[in-house]
Amino acid sequence: MKTIRHALLIARKDLALELRTKESLNAAGAFAIVILVLFSFAFEETEQIKEIGGGLLWLVFAFAGALIFNRSFARELPNDCLDTLLASPLSPASLVTGKALANFVMLLAMELISIVIFGIFFNVNWTRHIGELSLVFALGTWGISILGAVFGALTVNLRLRELMLPIIIYPLLVPLLIAAIELTKLLLSNQSMTPNDFLWTKLLIVFDVVFTALAMLLADTILVN
Amino acid sequence: MREKIAIGTAAAAAALLANNLYQMFMVLPDEALQGAIYRILFFHAPAALVGMIGYFVALTFSILYLSSKNFLHDSLAASVVEVSLVFSVVNLVTGSIWARVIWGIWWTWDARLTSALVCVLIFFGYLVMRRAIEEPTQRARLSSALCIFGCVDVVIVYKSIDWFRTQHPGPVLDFRTGGGKMDPAMAHIFWLNFLAILLVAVALVLVRTRQESTAREIDSLRRLAHTAA
Amino acid sequence: MTSAIELAGVWKFYGDYAAVRDVTLNVEEGSCCALLGRNGAGKTTLLRILAGLSSFERGSAQLFGVSPRQAHAGFLGHGIGVYEDLSARENLHFFARVAEVAQPESIAAEWLERVGLANASDMLVRQFSRGMRQRLALARTFLHTPKILLLDEPFTSLDDRAIAMLSELLVESRRRGATIILSTHQLREAMVIASHVALIENGRLRHAGERTEAMLDDPGLLYRLHA
């Protein structure tokens, strides 16, 4: 209970800071738009786009996500704020969870912008299965966000931090991205889910649960040196 | 003492390998369907097994480090990952050569190939991160955490990629099929060569662990000199 | 007298190099202990251990019978520990809620008043002068009236007004029974404030005991006797 309250406190503080400075949202948003425009040169606006649209979108999310996650703990470095937080009653687990929550909200905002632009640029109607699509986005985004928070914490004091984070998290995200891409592809091409596809939803849930648990378990190890 | 064990293991591995190579090329006949190239299997599959076993041995050492804070465990974990990575790459390369001959392509995005590649990428990240951290305690702590995340992910990767269609040949070894898929003479050499490759891996790990300890000693001496100055 | 801080045989390693070596130290409740020693002697590492920011390999550390991570001491390190892009009020409000004080809003307002930042409370810290930042950092450190205060070189970067304020806060804290450990190499200031002294050299505790009258007259005495 206390962990959740503290996590919300951290998330709210991070979102307030982000709204004021717009450091990561501007970068991530601009990046997403540029990539979507570049994709339009690479692929014809045809039926083909519904096939690859899922993959395209999740790659944009993962890459733009890295820009958000790099700032996540780096934001605590000036003035040694990270030390101050760790010396307070706040537990490392709640700190990581709070960062993940803030990442989650920022990434979702970025995803919403991306999919609207994607729909316009490539003439894809993505609103037909909006309920299922939201669920897939939420589950996928949480998984990316929690890993982003953990490895944001793990790399925060390393030299070459910005390079290290993507090298480590993209391979780890492979199963999540496969599942999210499969499901998004399905929903964009207006097919309904078969029982076989629930397997992918289950995979997303397992990924989220397992890595959230692991993150909370190892938060102390990662943050207290 | 440790040096002697390393040399002994390496010698045993060399002797066994020599015997195995003789058996493979001089005694065993070509395989009925594949011809001569099937022999690559004697290296391809053991390399994969040794690599995979290695990652979970490294996981064990990482957990041991976190509970004991004994640097030997960290050195062992790092060395095992490094050596496993080498064997995983051997696995990928030999597999690729085999695929070129039998399938006519170097690479396909088949389930097992993809999982093996993702595994290599995960633990490559582990080694890159170790390089980026100078302070040994921080390095040990953070890489142990990463190793745990990596190994858990490997399990999920294998499960999830398995749900894609598989092009890779099905299991042939007895413990996967219940017997009868592989000629006993071939199976015999296969396991002997698995042992040989395992010994090579152990010898390499011993040497690497020693180097890791020395590097840490040098680091602490440098720190000492720094404070004395 | 009960011990507020109990360190027993604490070792902290960076690789094979021991930064803190077998430190055993008891600090009585309500005392003010000055941690002395040269740069790199291990003062900061020891304070970080007490603040729960650093783990250690051997020994035990307890603050009022609980681990450093659960003790929630007031900690002021080298950085001021406040956010540049939040206002003074938002900063204090946030840290008050993190420290779980009752009525964080009124506490934050009260402290802004105390450190003379009431008029600047809605300004971003980014726009603050050096002195204003330091006073905000003091408010952040003291606002949850901690039973234990850990201050790492608190006097080095402060301006006169902040030094006066810190001295006043320390006196007041001791009056309400708080225990203070501060590291410093400004001997003269340390001797005036401290009731006890501890000298660290190469990670080892060389001496720990009461601050005597002789030390007040001759601050260098401690070094000559024990270093």
Domain extent at residue C91: 79-145
Q: Does residue B115 form part of some domain?
A: yes
Q: What is the pLDDT of residue B77?
A: 95
Cα separation, B45 vs B54, whole angstroms: 14
C69 and C160: one domain?
A: yes
Total domains in the fold of chain C: 2
* Any domain includes B225: no
Q: So what's the pLDDT on residue C51?
A: 92
In a domain, B179, yes or no: yes
From the CA of A156, how many Å to the nearest CA of chain B?
Answer: 11
Residue given tokens 């041995």 in the structure block: B57
Contacts of B205 (CB under 8 A, 6+ apart): B76, B79, B80, B83
Closest CA to A111 of A36, A22, A172: A36
Q: Which residues pair with C201 in a beta bridge?
A: C204
Per the CB < 8 A criterion, the answer to whether C45 and C20 are in contact is yes
Kindly determine whether residue B69 and residue C57, on different chains, have CB atoms separated by under 8 Å. Answer: yes
Judged by a CB distance cut-off of 8 A, whether residue C77 touches chain A is yes
pLDDT reported for residue B173: 66
Q: Is the pLDDT of residue B179 over 70?
A: no
Domain that holds residue B101: 2-29+36-212
C98 and C23 fall within a common domain = no
Q: What is the CATH number of the domain that holds B122?
A: 1.20.120
What is the tens place of the pLDDT at every residue in B47-94? 999 999 999 999 999 999 999 888 999 999 999 999 999 999 999 999
**Same domain, residue pair C203 and C219:** yes
Binned at pLDDT 50, 70 and 90, residue B19 comes out as confident
Instruction: Give the residue from B204, B198, B216, B202 showing the smallest Cα distance to B74.
Output: B216
Q: What is the pLDDT of residues C11-30, one digit of tens each?
A: 998 888 889 999 999 998 98
Q: pLDDT per residue over C149-196, tens digit each?
A: 999 988 887 888 888 899 899 999 999 999 999 998 777 877 888 889
> Is B222 contained in some domain?
no
In terms of domains, do C216 and C166 share one?
Answer: yes
Based on the fold, state whether residues C19 and C101 are members of the same structural domain: no
For residue A92, the model assigns a pLDDT of 93
Shared-domain flag, residues C52 and C160: yes
Rg of chain B (C-alpha set): 20
B60 CA: distance to closest CA in chain C (Å): 20
* C94 and C45 housed in the same domain: no
Chain A interface includes B147 (CB < 8 A): no
Is C67 in the same domain as C155?
Answer: yes
C185 in Cβ contact with C36 (< 8 Å): yes
Mean pLDDT across A102-111: 95
Boundary (domain end) residue, out of C145, C174, C200: C145
| Per-residue model confidence (pLDDT) at position A83 | 92
Predicted local distance difference test score (pLDDT) of residue B166: 52
pLDDT at site C159: 84
Number of structural domains, chain A?
Answer: 1
CB < 8 Å from C in window 45-84 of B: 69, 71
pLDDT at position A191: 73
Rounded to two decimals, the pTM is 0.90
As a whole number of angstroms, the distance between CA C12 and CA B94 comes to 47
Query: Would you tell me which residues 83-102 of chain C have a C-beta closer than 8 angstroms to some C-beta of chain A?
Result: 83-86, 90, 94-95, 97-100
| Mean pLDDT value across residues A92-102 | 95
Judge whether B44 lies within some domain.
Answer: yes
C109 and C165 inside one domain: no
The overall average pLDDT reported for chain B is 86
| Predicted pLDDT of residue A101 | 96
State the Cα–Cα distance between residues B45 and B51, nearest whole angstrom.
10
Cα separation, B115 vs A172, in Å, equals 11
C-alpha angle A130-A135-A138 in degrees, rounded to nearest 5: 120
pLDDT at B26: 79
> What token pair was written down for A178?
């496969």
Edge-to-edge strands of the sheet including C17-28?
Answer: C17-28, C3-14, C58-63
Same domain, C92 and C192: no
Q: What is the per-residue pLDDT for B175?
A: 62
Q: Give the rounded percent of residues in chain A with a pLDDT score beyond 90.
A: 61
pLDDT at B174: 61
Nearest Cα of chain C lies from the Cα of B4 at a distance, in angstroms, of: 25
Instruction: Give contacts of B 162-221 with C, CB under 8 A.
Output: 216-217, 219-220
Give the structural domain span for A29: 2-223
- Over residues C67-116, the pLDDT tens digits come to 888 888 899 988 899 999 999 999 999 999 999 888 999 999 999 999 99
Quick: pLDDT tens for C125-141. 999 998 899 999 999 99
Output the pLDDT for position B103. Answer: 85
C81 inside 8 A of chain A by CB: yes
Q: What is the pLDDT of residue C94?
A: 95
Q: Which is more confidently placed, C216 or A71?
A: A71
Split into its structural domains, chain B has a count of 1
User: What is the domain-level CATH number for residue C44?
Assistant: 3.40.50.300
Written as six digits, the tokens of B160 are: 């999830």
Of C98, C121, C145, the position where a domain reaches its end is C145
Q: Which of C48, C90, C98 sits opposite A89 (nearest CB)?
A: C98
Q: What is the pLDDT averaged over residues C37-42?
A: 84
Residue B23 banded pLDDT, cuts 50, 70, 90 = confident
Q: What does the pLDDT look like over B101-121, one tens digit per residue?
A: 888 888 887 777 888 899 999
Q: Is the Cβ pair C202, B71 closer than 8 Å?
A: no
Q: What is the mean pLDDT of chain A?
A: 90
